[in-house]
Amino acid sequence: MRRVPIIILIVVLVLAAGWYVAWRVLARQVDVAVSDALHVASEHGSPITCTDRRTSGFPLKVRISCSETTVSDQKSGVQARLAGVTAETAIYTPNRVTTALASPATITVPNLSEPIRGEWQTGTLTLDRRDAEISSSRLDLDTAKVTISGSEIVAKTLSALVAPARDEQRTSVGFSFADASLHSGDLSTPAMNGTGSAILSVPPQRVFTGLGDLRSTGLQVSAIQIAASSGDLKANISGDVQADPDGQLNGSLNVDLLSIDALPGFMKTLPPAARQLGNTMAGAILMFAQPVEVNGAQARRLHFDIHRGKVALGPIKLGRVAPLW
């Protein structure tokens, strides 16, 4: 009987040693896969640098961490730089990769005089894989701030989702934000909450690989649904737009104000620098918006038509949107 505990201990040690060896083999395979992915990205003109790459996570996870990380697009000259990333997958959920994003991040765009800077308290990027390819992704940021040319956009939470649509040949995209506001000089807008969704005419793989050559196919964005609110003021945006192969925008959008009675109160919350412009816009809304019923409630609708980049509100021509590419 005294031999039983010893035998059990030996079995446990052997299993532990075998598990460690298996984990090391798996970790090595993941590390090789990461190296191959970085090499492929570089060959396709999007080099990624991962400083101080390390592998950890034993016994139940495989974790790859980098300190400063950069992603570049050689065609456009855009470069994103992160303070660090830590990607991990659990052995029991091998098709999901969760990446912790370290703050801050900067994005350098050739046409901007200053880099775009992003900061957040916690940031997570979740990728789901199917058949060795990314099938969906979700980005979540808490207490986020984006600085562009001295102006700041802050939000308590910010989320974005990219996933296959029902037919899997198109892509469903969505976003949400809470307590978001804009601050620029003396201008500070009231906090807003919102959600949005749309369907892209390309499969998810094209989204994850940079959309490909849209100059040959164009891009359709259908079933646009955006809902935003600030205090008692609520608005919805719906419609469909498409970009032709030459980058010209076409389509139509409806903007429905669901609580028109709250508009005067909303204008009072604006700072003096923006109140005059806000009152002018409110007057234009009351003049050109058509009364409609949305979900049983009275609302005012602004209908915008876009043809070859030219935007019109009814008979009024508002201007032109430059080609997207």
Does a structural domain hold residue 109? yes
Does a structural domain hold residue 162? no
Cis amide leading into 110 (omega within 30): no
- Domains contained in the chain, number: 1
Does a structural domain hold residue 96? yes
Separation CA 218–CA 249 (nearest Å): 10
* Tens of each residue's pLDDT in the chain, 325 residues: 556 667 777 767 776 676 777 777 777 877 777 777 777 777 777 788 888 888 888 888 889 899 899 988 877 788 899 999 998 988 888 888 899 999 999 999 887 788 999 999 999 999 888 876 778 899 999 999 999 888 899 999 999 999 998 877 899 999 999 999 988 877 777 889 999 999 999 888 777 776 666 777 889 999 999 999 987 788 899 999 999 988 899 999 999 988 766 666 666 666 665 666 566 666 666 677 788 887 777 788 888 999 999 999 877 788 898 888 7
How many CB atoms are closer than 10 A to CB 77?
A: 11
Does a structural domain hold residue 215? no
Across-strand partners of 291?
300
pLDDT at 119: 95
Cβ atoms of residues 160 and 184 within 8 Å: no
pLDDT at 57: 84
Separation CA 231–CA 43 (nearest Å): 50
Does a structural domain hold residue 209? no
Residue ranges making up the domain that contains 93: 1-119
Does a structural domain hold residue 126? no
Does a structural domain hold residue 208? no
pTM of the entire predicted model: 0.81
Does a structural domain hold residue 68? yes
